[in-house]
Structure 1
Amino acid sequence: MESRNPVIRRYADFQKPGSVLGNNQGRYDGNVITSTPVDETTQTFPGRTPAKPGERVVTMDDVVMKSFAMLALLLVGAFVGWNAPGLAIIAAIAGLVLGLVNTFKKNVSPVLVVAYALLQGVFVGGISYIYQNLVVADGTNIVGNTIMCTMVAFGTMLFLFKSGIIKVDAKFTRMMMVAMVSYLVIAVISIIASFMGVGGGWGFYGVGGIGILLALFGVGLASFSLMLDFQSIRQAISMGLPEKESWRLAFGLTVTLVWLYLEMLRLFAILAGRRE
């Protein structure tokens, strides 16, 4: 089973035998591709090769700028979705299709990545409006709380990654994949249960303390998934992949951030509902 995040999915393949670079493959050194030998532990993106001589390679600045661009487009879409929440369902379906296309497309398409960010923004804005104004009745600003906590979670995970307190190795990746698959199974069963009236339409998430624990697990899982995105970015830069791959990396990071935001939003909605 694979993660829905394209970068995480590829990073999982890093751990497979035979996914290392050959001894004479190019390596990133500043903005120049050299032919120095690569350590046997170096891992690569399946189907991705280092930039050709003279071709611009991806840098951290590229990934950061593309990520900021994606988030800006996400906010634009969110503004539209907040003011037209009825578009949320359409945007969700279209975003899912584009997400799959961007995930499996061999050559990254900046246009499709940008379109995905806009559509996801519309969905996030619409669902946020629904939660804030139709689900929560006590006036709690769950959207503001969600945005703030998402930023805190991102900063915390980045610190833990950069400091080396948590190391993203093969064991960590396997544990994350098992946890993701398990959570996906629970989520699907919960959706089915919600149609049967379980948890007042919330499924398992509306069943007392169990719902809160599940929501907390989802938040934790999405947060730690950021670690895999950070490692993917580090690997891409160290390998000297072409600059265009920065769009794919920014796309993967956006997918995880949206997932984290939605998990946070659900958690705050559940907590607000219990206070009513």
Structure 2
Amino acid sequence: MRSSNPVFSRRGLSRDGGAATGFAGQQQAGNPYAAGPAANNPYATNPYAQQTAAPGQPHPQGAPPAAPAQTGRMTIDDVVARTGITLGTVIVTAAAAWILNVSLGVAIAAALIAMVLAFVQIFKRKASPALILGYAAFEGVFLGAISNYLNSYVGNGVAMQAVLGTMAVFAAVLFMYKQRIIRVTRRFYKFVMAAAIGFILLMGVNLLFAVFAGGDGLGFRSGGLGILFGVLGVVLGACFLALDFKQVEDGIAYGAPREESWLAAFGLTLTLVWIYLEFLRLLSILNSD
């Protein structure tokens, strides 16, 4: 299955269906939906598999000779370390933007730059730590400035509440995923993707109405509807976290290269930023009513 996270979906770190295009352009091992000869050939399904042949025998399906065993495979420690560095960059720049009282104009510019850097990394074939950390730095400036503004405008410590809410969601999803309370299946993936597409489309329509008609558009960002969509946004973010955990688990299981841990960190950071922003918006609505 492809990840809903665009970072992972381009890298092929998936076990449960769909063609992996990030490393070998082949379907991956353990695909219960594969059919035909590829389904019975582990070398045609695992993008990290090394093929071997007995002396004097041709290589399977005309494959080239096996390369020497590769070292430097991704581990959970690599993912944790890179995620810590990426999130640490976000936190440091956010704190600096808060302390320096960065204006909303600068915050919007930083958000646009972060968006550009994120899209560049998403469409690259390899992880670029410079791009990822650049995204984290500019995203942190935006988050720090907007959090400072809302904390001053709404009050009641909404920024710290949003941080605690994000941490609680991360811990809860990780616990439920490890305990297999949440099972990332093909049906789960389809449901999350359908819900996410509908959510994004509605938010886009609301934004267009707000721009051209003024006010709050269709009301999806305030009042009762705003609260409902805020909760939905947090729930969807939690579902994306489960999908991200699945992709990391599969990447480690199939021996993804160590540099892929930067992409894992990038994908997790994108999801956590989304959850934080949804919490920030939800708490702002609740505290302003």
TM-score (norm 1): 0.83
Corresponding residue for residue 17 of structure 2: 15
Partners of 2:103 and 2:16 lie apart in 1 by 40
Greater Cα offset, 220-229 or 9-18: 9-18
Equivalent position amino acid for 2:124 in 1? K
1:167 counterpart residue number: 183
Q: Which of 116, 128, 150 is the equivalent residue of 1:109? A: 128
On the 8 A contact 1:81/1:126 being kept in 2, the answer is: yes
Higher helix share: 1
The reply to whether residue 197 of structure 1 matches residue 198 of structure 2 is no
Task: Indicate yes or no: 2:7 matched with 1:6.
Answer: yes
CA deviation string 1:39-73 (max 9, x = no partner): xxxxxxxxxxxx96233100000000000111110
The answer on whether the counterparts of 1:8 and 1:252 sit within 8 Å (CA) in structure 2 is no
Q: Is contact 1:74-1:120 (8 Å) kept? A: yes
Contact 1:62 1:246 in 2 (8 A): yes
Q: How far did 1:168 drift?
A: 0.3
Match status 1:140 vs 2:142: no
1:218 is matched with which residue?
233
Cα distance, 1:197 vs. partner?
A: 3.0
> How far is the alpha carbon of 1:12 from its aligned partner?
7.6
Q: Is the 8 A contact 1:27 1:238 kept in 2?
A: no
Match of 2:103 in 1: 85
Provide the C-alpha distance between the structure 2 equivalents of 1:198 and 1:227, rounded to a whole number of angstroms. Answer: 35
Q: What is the total number of aligned residue pairs between the two structures?
A: 251
Deviation at 1:25, TM superposition (A): 7.0
CA distance in 1, matches of 2:287, 2:74: 43
How far apart, CA to CA, are the structure 1 residues paired with 2:204 and 2:151? 24
> Residues 239-258 of structure 1 correspond to what in structure 2 (within 5 A)?
239-258=254-273
The residue that corresponds to 1:183 in the other structure is: 199
- CA RMSD, Structure 1 to Structure 2 (Å): 2.7
Q: How far did 1:5 drift?
A: 3.8
The Cα of 1:181 is off from its aligned counterpart by: 0.6
Cα distance in 2 between the residues matched to 1:103 and 1:110: 12
| AA in 1 matched with 2:103 | P
2:4–2:243 Cα contact (<8 Å) kept: no
1:104-157 Cα offsets, whole Å, 9 max, x none, are 1001111111111111111111111121123x1xx3110011101110000000
| Deviation at residue 198 of structure 1 after TM alignment | 3.7
Identify the residue that residue 54 of structure 1 maps to in structure 2: 70
Q: How far did 1:16 drift?
A: 1.9
Q: Distance in 2 between matches of 1:212 and 1:192?
A: 20
Matched to 1:104, the amino acid is F
The alpha-carbon distance between structure 1 residues 52 and 99, as it changes in their structure 2 partners (threshold 3 A), is: farther
The CA deviation at 1:20 is 2.1
Tell me the alpha carbon deviations over residues 179-234 of structure 1, each in whole angstroms, 9 at most, x when there is no partner.
111011011011122232343x794222x311111111011111111001100100
Are the equivalent residues in 2 in contact too, given 1:12–1:173 (CA < 8 A)?
Answer: no
Change (3 A) 1:190 1:228: same
What is the percent sequence identity of the aligned residues? Answer: 34
Higher RCO (C-alpha 8 Å, min separation 6): 1
Taking the aligned partners of 2:208 and 2:72, their CA distance within structure 1 comes to: 48
- Look up the match of 2:275: 260
Structure 2 spans left out of the alignment, 5+ residues? 20-25, 30-40, 53-66
For 1:3 and 1:34, the matched residues in 2 are separated by 28
Moved more, 3-12 or 212-221: 3-12
Larger-Rg structure: 2
Q: Distance in 1 between matches of 2:4 and 2:200?
A: 10
Distance 1:211 1:218 in 2: 10
Contact 1:85/1:125 (8 A) holds in 2: no
> Which portions of structure 1, spanning 4 or more consecutive aligned residues, are displaced by more than 6 angstroms?
25-28, 33-36
